[in-house]
Structure formats: structure tokens, C-alpha cells
A and B are shown apart, each in its own frame.
Chain A
Amino acid sequence: MSQENAQSAPNAEPLSDADQQIDDAINKEYSAGFVSNIESDTLEAGLSEDVIRFISGKKNEPEWMLEWRLKAYHQWLEMEEPEWAHVNYPKIDFNEISYYSAPKSMADGPKSLDEVDPDLIATYNKLGIPLHEQQMLAGVAVDAVFDSVSVATTFRENLKEAGVIFCPISEAVHEYPELIKKYLASVVPVKDNYYAALNCAVFSDGSFVYIPKGVKCPMELSTYFRINEAKTGQFERTLIIAEEGSEVSYLEGCTAPMRDENQLHAAVVELVCLDGAKIKYSTVQNWYPGDEQGKGGIYNFVTKRGIAHTNSRISWTQVETGSAVTWKYPSCVLKGDNSVGEFYSVALTNNYQQADTGTKMIHIGKNTRSTIISKGISAGKSSNAYRGLVRFNAGADGARNFTQCDSLLIGSECAAHTFPYIESKNPKAIIEHEATTSKVSEDQLYLCQQRGIDAEKAVSMIVNGFCKDVFKELPMEFAVEAGKLLEVSLEGSVG
């Protein structure tokens, strides 16, 4: 593998041994890149009103939902694709993408796990996501979204007892139309941005969570997303509503098979965090990043935002190691007094991956507080940008923000950028922003090696140390997974 790498950069200067070792250590095979052999019902590529009617029809949606989608579609047609992000990719032809794909065996809708295609279950097992409740880590309820549809939501009965609703959003449209009507697009308006509008028009499934007043959700909720079918886009939509004084921790994981062409993933996540509620939203994103030459991979254009009401807290934690291009800014609108927003992020890019990610903290209420810890790791020929906005509105007396953004560069052909926008209209608000860059130095590697630790392990230790502040924010089960994921990302073929 090391030789291939050397060959893949014919114009590059010969690497020193240490560079080569670092280089090898950060290269890895994408372990979630298999294709599942499942018969799918996939809509022909292209986007039109008919396609939207088709999707809506498949879901048996009420008329109001269809109208809403069509309106979004017409608004999207008038919008322009954003170009401000520090990423480069060929223009996407939105008519080349299929907007709906479902495993065939799902067509009639499984009533229970027993009816789910065994291949599908095997796929999830391969990904390390056991759907069978008996196999599961205690206390984690899983909703799994495969291409466009939700295939299984576990532990639903247990949750129901606590009054917690955790189901596919397509089901929520039927079962809880009032909640959907009230909250859908209440945080991310339809016209918020190009991809959000597209998602409104074509979203097929996703998770819906409702935590009633005063309820502390008895277990972690989790969704796994997987794109399986070629030339399909995935447009899932997640809506989480935490009523007054409630609490929930939600985890999301993503994978996709290795394919030569790029695939689009444009999701929208909305969090409604009412007075005194707490939402912790964690993501491990491991979409297929493309190969060593930069071929293939997922375009991950995601809008995530939460509104925090009085005394509430929203916490975003993300570990981003996948996707060819990432465009993602999980944000908090700190509307209520004393509300708290947090963003903890590790973004690792390798080979030709590009990431432009960060957060927005909009301080509206008094004494609102936000913390941003961003750790960017760039390796190979990748580009990794932090883009953030911290805004203090005129009424945000006593608001505070602390931002720490660090970049770690591994190898001399990668790039790291920091674009923090800091805006204040309030003299009683305090912002502190710090950013640094560093590299995994040859000296550090040498010290580790002299103590008997091989280069691969050394790089992994250094990178994990760099990310420590973020990992400790992840729920236990995910922290382990994230650590492993980085380790896998750092696994190579050293000597």
C-alpha cells in the first residue's frame, strides 16, 4: 500500500522515511465500503413535480404534505447553489440523481424485524449495528434508514411506556400530523438554503423524536443511515422535539458503499429544545470518502440547527471522517434567556477529501452561553476548513462564547483553514476566540519510536490526544466507536 501511495503522487518530492511512515499510517481502507446485494425499488434519475408526487404517493402522504413539498420544490428551482464554501467539486446535475430507492422487500412494509430482508439485517450487522434487540447494547434504541426508507426502529414499545415517540418521520406524518405541521421547517425554514429546500421537496424518510414534558428519555436513541443503491441521493430529515424540562441523547451514524461516482446526501436536522430541556446530538459520519485518487465518495451537504428556549441546552458533537465533500454547520439559535449551545467537533480529512464545517451560535437571549471546540485534522492532499459564526444580538446582555479551533496537519500537501466570523452588537457580551495549528512532528514520532511504539500507533496516539476534548463529550458507546474509527482511519501498512 505504501508503494501505491508513493506512485499516486508522481510529482511529489520523495518522502523522507518519517514522512512516509506518517503517510502510511494515515492511509486506510474504507471498512464500510461493501455493497449489499439487495433488490431495490429505485426511481429513475431526475427531478420533477412527478417525482415529488411519486415520493409522496409511495409514502401515502396526506394532501397537505404533498402541497408543502411542491411549494418547496418551486422555491428550490428559483434558488442558486451556494459557492462560498472552501470546497471544489464538479457541478452537480440534479437530474442525474435518483430521488427514491427502497429495498424491495420493504414495499409492503415490514410489521416486525422478522419480516425484514435477512440480507438487510446482515448489512447492518456487518456495519456493527445489530438491529435485534437482544444483540443490542443496553439502552440504545435504533432507527435504521437504508437508502430512502426507515427499515426498523427498535425498542419502540419500551419507549412508548415513557411517552417517548421514536419513529420514522414518514410514519409521524400520519400518526402525529399536528406535531409535524407545527414544527417541521420551524427551525430550518424551507428557503433557508439551497440544499435544505431540495430536502423539503424530496425527503423520503428520517427519524422523528418527541419527548414529553419533564421526561428524561430512558435510553440513548440512535439512527444509522446507509446509502446502498448506486446513483441515488439520500435526503433524510430528522426532527427532534424536547418538551419543557425533558432530556434526550440522540446518536447518528452514517456509512455508504464504495462507488466510483459521487453520491449526494442532503439532510436536514431540526431540534426544538423547549424551556429547560436538554438535547445532546452526536454524529459519527463515515460516509464513503472516495478512493486514494479522489474518485467517488459522498457529497455531504447537511443543514442542522436547533432552537434553544429559556434555560435549555443543545449540544452538538460530531466526529466526521467520511465523505468526499462535507458542507455542514450544526448550529444553535440561543433564543431563550440562559440557554446554552455547545459544539464539539473532530473532522478528519485524508487523500482528496474536502471539509468545510463548523457551527453558528446565534445569541439572542440574555446570559446565553456557547462553547465551540473544533479539532481539524488534515492529511494527504485534503483540505479541512473550520467556518464558524458567533453572533451576539443587541439584546444578548451577559452572553458568553468561548471558541477554540485547532488544526493538525499531517504531511506537507494538505491544507487547513479557519474562517471564524465574530459579530457583536452588545457591550455586555464576551467572546473569546483562539485558534492554533500544529503538525505531527518527526521529533514526536522519533521519541515514540525510541520508546518502542511503532509509527502507526504513535500517530494514532497523538491524534487521539489532539481530539480528547471532543471525545469526552460523546456518549460512552460512541466514544469507543469514534476512537476506533479514528484508529481505523489511521491504520496503515507500516513495515
Chain B
Amino acid sequence: MLTIENLQANVSDKNILKGLNLEIKPGEVHAIMGPNGAGKSTLGHVLAGRDGYEVTGGSVTLEGKDLLALACEERAREGVFLAFQYPVEIPGVSNMEFLKASVDAVRTHRELPAWDAVSFMKKAREACKAVNLDQQFLKRGVNEGFSGGEKKRNEIMQMMLLEPKIAILDETDSGLDIDALQVVANGVNALRSPERSFIVVTHYQRLLDYIVPDYVHVLADGKIVKSGDKNLALELEEKGYGWLEGESA
């Protein structure tokens, strides 16, 4: 589904990704772990197409399509969803208005039937319920005045409505207590399907108790230095990243 080959990228002229390879098949969940500054968040932004993240080499294809040739919103419409580590506040624009615009754009692009206002509302309410978010949040400005946990749940709620092909969760678990973490994980698990893949970027192994990955990769200094199954995460939790030094060669 998603194929990343020798991906290299700069941020503010600094080389962050240095030849990253990753192959994700439909339905798989890949966890990406690694020390601070390894390039985990950068990977998410590069895939999403954020301005200022300059790809200097390599390729990324989504179902054979050259992702890097597309603008940020085109990638989103193709099915790339990024759950932000720090969701942005947009005062004055209601969550509902925002979601409707987003869902309309994505569905139109995929030539799916449009949702009328009633069915949209119904879906939005269901999604809210699924992540334990009060419906009132639909009426409030996008992320405006939301707590950290509410923002993260709002991201998952949006993901449910947009039904992406590949979802990238960028440290969606940081700052969450265990109850909120479970809510988020349940939301993700509910969306798991043979057609949908996930990249879960995290610092902490505990998330992976709830979202069980098919693969765990260690990203260090802009490259994947080790891959394994879920047990690798446990090993990392125990030993840290120090023992992996030297393996990047």
C-alpha cells in the first residue's frame, strides 16, 4: 500500500531523514519508535506534505501513486491522514463546519456519494460518542480551548469520519492518562481493517499494549535501524536505545 524508498528530507536546510525505507501492506500496523530528534515527527510531516519539509531524495508511493508529487490537501484526499502531535486551534471556525468541509473535499475526490447534512450529523455524533467526546465539541471552534486529551480524541474522531487509507498517529498517546489512552486506542482499533494501514509514532511502549502492531521499527538518526515484532517494543522499553548504537551501519 505505502512504499517508502530511500527517503531523504531536510528541515530548515538540516538533513533529518537520511535514507528511510518502509513497506506497509494493507491492513498492517507499523509502530515507529526511537530517541528524541531521530526524525519520527518529520516522517509524518513529510508524508503529509507540510511546507518547509524538503524532500531531497527517494520516493514514496501510495498504491503505486507518487505521493511526493501531490500537494498536502491532495494527499489527504488520496487517503493520508495525520493525527497531529499538537493539534492546531482555529478560533471562530466550528469543528462541525471544518469537518463538513473536510469530509466533502475528501468524498468528492474519491467519487463517493456526498453526505447530506442529516447523515453527516449522524456520523459526526457517532464518531464523538466512539471517542467519548461530548457533542458540544462539534459546535466549538476547532480545538479551541480543548484540553490536551480532548484535542487528541478530536483527531481520532476526525479520522473516523475521513476513513483514510493510511493513518499516521504522531505521538497521539503523549500527555494522555491511561483512560484517555484506552479511548484513543479503542477508536483506532475500531478502524482497523484489511484495507487500512497505520503508522503509529510513539515514545512509549504502553500504547502498543492497546494498539498491537504487526511491526515495530526503530528510527535513529534518520534511518530505520532495527525492525521486529511487538516484542521489540518491550525490549526497547527495558533497555532504552543505547544498545542499538552501531547498528545503523
Contacts and interface: CB of A to CB of B under 8 A. Distances in A.
Interface of A: 16-18, 438, 441-444, 446-455, 457, 461-462, 464-468, 495
B91 A465 contact: yes
Contacts of A467: 92
Question: Which of B71, B90, B101 has the largest number of chain A CB atoms within 10 A?
Answer: B90
Closest 3 CB pairs of A and B: A465-B92, A465-B93, A452-B76
B162 A452 contact: yes
Contact of A16 (B51, B89, B90): B51
Contacts of A17: 51-52
A453 B105 contact: yes
Contacts, number: 93
Contact of A452 (B51, B77, B91, B93): B77
B102 A444 contact: no
B158 interface: yes
Interface of B: 48-52, 71-73, 76-77, 80-82, 84, 87-94, 97-99, 101-102, 105-106, 109, 141-142, 158, 162
A449 B98 CA distance: 11
Contact of B76 (A449, A464, A495): A449
A25 to B, nearest CB: 13
Given A453-B73, A453-B102, A468-B92, A447 B97 contact: no
Given A453-B105, A462-B92, A465-B93, A442 B98 contact: no
Given A450-B48, A465-B93, A444 B88 contact: yes
B94 A451 contact: no
A461 B88 contact: no
Contacts of A454: 71, 73, 105
Given A449-B73, A450-B72, 8 more contacts: A441-B88, A446-B50, A450-B84, A451-B106, A461-B90, A461-B98, A468-B92, A495-B71
Contacts of A464: 92-93
Contacts of B92: 462, 464-468
Interface of A is mostly: helix
A167 B87 CA distance: 55
A457 B101 CA distance: 9
Contacts of A468: 92
Nearest to A469: B92
Nearest to A454: B73
A441 B91 CA distance: 12
A461 B93 contact: yes
Contacts of B49: 449-450
A477 to B, nearest CB: 21
A447 B76 contact: no
Nearest to B45: A446
B229 to A, nearest CB: 30
A62 to B, nearest CB: 52
B100 to A, nearest CB: 10
Contact of A461 (B51, B72, B77, B101): B101
B197 to A, nearest CB: 17
Given A446-B88, A451-B158, A465-B93, A16 B101 contact: no
A17 B91 CA distance: 23
A442 B141 CA distance: 17
Contact of B162 (A441, A443, A451, A462): A451
A462 B72 contact: no
B97 A449 contact: no
Contacts of A441: 88
Given A18-B51, A452-B102, A462 B73 contact: no
Name which of A447, A453, A461 has the most chain B CB atoms within 10 A of its CB: A447
B88 A447 contact: yes
11 contacts: A16-B52, A17-B52, A444-B88, A450-B82, A451-B99, A451-B102, A452-B102, A453-B98, A453-B105, A457-B105, A461-B90
A447 B87 contact: yes
A462 B105 contact: no
Nearest to A494: B71
A449 to B, nearest CB: 4
A454 B108 CA distance: 13
Contacts of B81: 450
A450 B102 CA distance: 9
B93 A462 contact: yes
A453 B101 contact: yes
Nearest to A438: B91
Contacts of B90: 444, 447-448, 461-462, 465
B162 to A, nearest CB: 7
